[in-house]
Chain A
Amino acid sequence: MIQPAKPELVTVNIDGQEVEVPKGINVIEAARMVGVDVPHYCYHPKLTIAGNCRMCLIELGMPAVDRATREPIMDEATGKQKINWIPRPQIGCGTNVSPGMHIKTQSDMVKECREGVMEFLLINHPLDCPICDQAGECKLQEQATGYGRGYSRFIEQKNVKPKRTQLGPRVVLDDERCVLCSRCIRFSQEVAKDDVLGFVDRGSYSTLTCYPGKELANNYSLNTVDICPVGALTSTDFRFKMRVWFLKQTNSIDTESSVGANTVVWSREGVIYRITPRQNDEVNDTWMADSGRILYKQVQSDDRLLPAGSLADNLAAASALLKDGGVAVVGSGRSSVEEQFFTARIAKQLEAKSCIVARHGEGDGILVSADRNPNTRGALVTGLITGLPATELTELAADIDAGAVKTVLVVGEDLTAAGLSADQLAKVNIVYLGFHANATSAAAKVSIAGLTVFEKSGTYINQQFRLQKFASAVPGLAGATDDRVVLAQLLAAVGGETTGSDLASVWSALSREISVLDGLAYAQLPDTGLLLDSTAWSGLAFPEGETLHYQPATAEATA
């Protein structure tokens, strides 16, 4: 694993306390590092600084220096260097720390500033919290409670603005709730590169809008909902489905491509309501694609493979076929590292050829890469494959035609989609393990119902060779079995070395047998993953182009 570089530190004084923080970060982040909250709306760590909400005003001072001699000016009373406090409050978001900087976040002036800004933000804000979907994660609510005066002095008519505007297929706008922080506009310009949002009119009548006739329809539109600090932008899919405080949050990984965006799965009583991005500064910052947010729908999709027969019977039937020889193994780039490890060991035990099916699409340059398997690197690391996979299984097709293969163990894939004909499928016995039904599961002699990524735990290795873990958010489909457990038992049934199928046991085997995983254990993996040593695979021409925080190796070499 690779250690990140240590940043240079500077000493600053926050509310009287001397602290060391990385050089160049702003006051909000510096304060956050020592547990001090500097409230804000427009500031977002991954967007340019706008400085417009004025909620993060703080008092700022610098050590006094004699202009002529550059010598420090001492305060005789304290014996310390005198601090020159700027008479006006400064914005924390737009102020970067420098050595010796003094910051007050709790002074009377700062409190007054916050009360003032809170009051201003609320005077034209509708009092519709009881019917607002943002309740529970509304910064306006939270900060009104934390930093407001608690009463209103406003008796005039509130401004009237458009309500319930459908900005695009997935996002609804309520302009009266908008605090004009411009986060969504900056996101659209700077990250999604789809400049369709803007403010029209002026002053307090400024109104967020999408250009007439255009839509906020890009594949990142829902990030605007995530970063909207208030209830102005809400998700068409999620709004009014569930109050957020009822929801359980589980860390997961977006499986739509090899980017491996970090996510949070929000569920209640075994039902998933939404997926949102989870901050990982090395992978997806705080963003994810809209397309990855609907993947939870596969949990309750119509094409789920329903369990049939007992697991013991199925395993017995499967092992009988597999032990008969002439086996080929089609693993999956969608399987977890743990599952791929067992799949590879089954292939080895049976002296079978193993492969996975490549899945390519166009990379969007942001957070969906050209490799639409989340775990191609896992297949390489676990030895399930030794070279890059192909989209068509021509070798397997030829082996079937030549009569060299009698039985195929298929994990999750549809062989017809990978170029095999129905005829070829009919010539072999198929053992299928997966969570959805397809032409291959329909043709299978034995088919075992597995779980979706949301119902099980494990790890993936993304395009950067970053090992990232995901956890089970909801219980599995009744009667279905965790794929890892099925594969472990199948390995045992075909005479392989038995290893416990629990994650701890699998990881002790993984760290023992795979050198780049040496010393790692599932329980100790950080939430943001670990970068593995990828030198062994540096010669491979991976399909990914540039995406956020990822430069293809070849581009790097030529750059």
Chain B
Amino acid sequence: MNLQPETLARIDEVITHYPEKRSGTLPLLHLIQEDIGHIPEEAIEWIAEKLELEPINVYEVVTFYPMFRRKPIGRRHIKVCRTLSCALVGAYKTCSKFQQEFDTKLGKVSPDGEVTVEFVECLASCGTAPVVLIDEELHENVDEAKAKEISDHIKAEAAQRG
């Protein structure tokens, strides 16, 4: 596990926010996932040692919170809100559109490696449903047409990258 110097510095800083080191578990998991894309077993053990915990303490946490991933994902993470307000205005269609556009299944890396499409629970933007969180950017009122537009944009970026 090769963490960026900046990540390491942020890790050391964030631990100082808490009177008990164990509180650093979630922040460290976020920082490591942002850096290397997912949480491998090595990261669990690294965090445990850093925070003077047993690995099981970290493992329990990683598996409790759905945002922590045990495996790498596609270049972009498309999270479509599945919960009632979004579903009422077509979230299932939106999600199908993304899957269709990237020829992929829920939770899997698309064949071109560009995206992983997932259903997630409420993103708390129900007034602009359906909403989709792509990496850290929220997209609102994403009907099928807008899903197509977003997909085209991602594909174009990929083409540009070569």
Classify A-B as touching or not with yes or no (CB < 8 A): yes
Q: Kindly report which residue of chain A lies nearest to residue B58, judged by CB atoms.
A: A211
Mask: chain A, 199-210; 1 = CB below 8 Å from B; 0 = not: 111100000011
Cβ contact within 8 Å between B57 and A195: yes
Give the contacting residue for A212; candidates B41, B57, B64; CB below 8 A: B41
Q: Is the CB of B63 within 8 A of A211?
A: no
A337 to B112, CA, bound (A): 80
Residues of A within 8 A of B137 (CB): none
Interfacial residues of chain B within 38-96, with CB under 8 A of chain A in the complex: 41, 54-57, 59-60, 63-64
Query: Do the beta carbons of B60 and A200 come within 8 Å of each other?
Result: yes
Quick check: B64 and A211 within 8 Å, CB to CB? no
B residues within 8 A CB of A197? Answer: 56
Cα of A212 to Cα of B59 in the assembled complex, Å: 9
Segment 181-211 of A: residues with Cβ below 8 Å from B: 195-202, 209-211
Q: Which residues of B contact A214 (CB under 8 A)?
A: 55-56
Closest to A207 in B: B63
Contacting residue for B57 out of A198, A201, A202, CB 8 A: A198
Determine the chain A residues whose CB is within 8 A of the CB of B55 once the complex forms.
Answer: 211, 214
**Which A-chain residue is minimally distant from B54 (CB atoms)?**
A195
Q: Which residues of A contact B54 (CB under 8 A)?
A: 195-196, 211
What residues of B have a CB within 8 angstroms of the CB of A202 in the complex?
A: 63-64
Q: What residues of chain B lie closer than 8 Å to A196, measured between beta carbons?
A: 54, 56
Chain B positions within 8 Å of A200 at CB level? 59-60, 63-64
Q: How far is the CB of A525 from chain B (nearest CB, A)?
A: 42
Q: B56–A198 contact, CB under 8 A?
A: yes
Residue of B nearest to A199 (CB): B60
Q: How far is the CA of A214 from the CA of B60 in the complex (A)?
A: 14
* Complex Cα spacing A211 to B41, Å: 10
* Smallest Cβ-Cβ distance to B63: which chain A residue: A200
In the docked arrangement, what's the CA distance between A210 and B55, Å? 10
**In the assembled complex, how far is the CB of residue B111 from the closest CB belonging to chain A, in whole angstroms?**
28
CB closest chain-A residue, reference B60: A198
Which A residue's beta carbon lies closest to that of B59? A211
**Complex Cα spacing A508 to B57, Å:** 57
Shortest Cβ distance from residue A194 to the other chain B in the assembled complex, whole angstroms: 9
User: Hey, which chain B residues are within 8 Å of A209, CB to CB?
Assistant: 56, 59
Chain A residues with CB under 8 A of B64: 200-202
Min CB distance A416 to B, Å, is: 44
Are A195 and B56 touching (Cβ within 8 A)? Answer: yes
CB-based nearest A residue for B44: A211
Which residues of chain A are near B63, meaning CB under 8 Å?
200-202
- Which residues from A are CB-within-8-Å of B59? 198, 200, 209, 211-212
Roughly how many angstroms separate A209 CA and B57 CA in the complex, as a whole number?
11
**How far apart are the CA atoms of A196 and B60 in the complex, in Å?**
11
A205-234 with Cβ < 8 A to chain B: 209-212, 214
CB distance from A273 to the nearest CB of B (A): 32
Which residues of chain B are within 8 angstroms of A198 by Cβ–Cβ distance? 56-57, 59-60
Please, which residues of chain A bring their CB within 8 A of the CB of B56? Answer: 195-198, 209-211, 214
Cα(A200)–Cα(B44), bound, Å = 13
CA distance A196 to B59 in the complex (A): 10
Q: How far, in angstroms, from A198 to B64 measured CA to CA in the complex?
A: 11
Residue of B nearest to A212 (CB): B41
A188, closest chain B residue (CB): B56
Contact with A along B6-43 (1 / 0, CB 8 A): 00000000000000000000000000000000000100
A residues less than 8 Å from B60 (CB atoms): 198-200
Distance to closest chain A CB from B107 (angstroms): 15
Q: Bound complex: CA of A195 vs CA of B41, how far in Å?
A: 17
* Extra 14 A-B pairs, beta carbons < 8 Å, given A212-B41, A214-B55: A197-B56, A198-B56, A198-B57, A198-B60, A200-B59, A200-B63, A200-B64, A201-B63, A201-B64, A209-B59, A211-B56, A211-B59, A212-B59, A214-B56
Residue contacts A-B, CB under 8 angstroms, 26 given: A195-B54, A195-B56, A195-B57, A196-B54, A196-B56, A197-B56, A198-B56, A198-B57, A198-B59, A198-B60, A199-B60, A200-B59, A200-B64, A201-B63, A201-B64, A202-B63, A202-B64, A209-B56, A209-B59, A210-B56, A211-B54, A211-B55, A211-B56, A211-B59, A212-B41, A214-B56
Q: Which are the 8 A-B pairs with shortest beta-carbon distances?
A: A200-B63, A211-B56, A198-B56, A198-B60, A195-B54, A211-B55, A201-B63, A202-B64
Give B contacts to A, CB under 8 Å: 41, 54-57, 59-60, 63-64
Listed in ascending order, the chain A residues whose CB lies under 8 Å from chain B are: 195-202, 209-212, 214
